[in-house]
Amino acid sequence: MPYVLRHKKTGEIAASLQKNHYDLIYYGVKLWPGEKEALEAMSAYLEAECFPEPDCWEALHVREERAKVMNVKLKNNPSLRLFMEAEGTLTVQADEGPQETVS
């Protein structure tokens, strides 16, 4: 079951440019296979990707289906940011504000 990083205050889910197993570059949610791996890599990843407030992030378990929905919402577009509310609602934002919401 995958883990993502979620900002405790804003609900932002960490996403970045990555390479898939075909060596193709895509923009999507950063996933780790387990909580231990996510916690060990969190500090270096957040620093490398210039995420603010590195102490305010947490590793969060998500179902694989939910992780796929998160990536679909990002549309492979680095100008989009993904947020997850405490109740699980996903919101995608670009520079101009909220774009769409999914429960």
- DSSP string covering 10-37: T-EEPEEEEE-TTS-EEEEE--BSSHHH
**The one-letter amino acid at 77:** N
In which domain, by residue range, is 86 found? Answer: 3-102
> DSSP string spanning 56-93?
GEEEEE--HHHHHHHHHHHTT-TT-EEEE-TT--EEEE
Dist. CA 58–CA 22, nearest whole Å? 29
Q: How many domains does the chain have?
A: 1
pLDDT at 1: 83
Global pTM exceeds 0.85:
yes
Residue with tokens 């989009």: 80
**Residue spans of the chain under pLDDT 50:** 97-98
Phi, psi of 93 (to 5 degrees): -125, 140
pLDDT at 50: 95
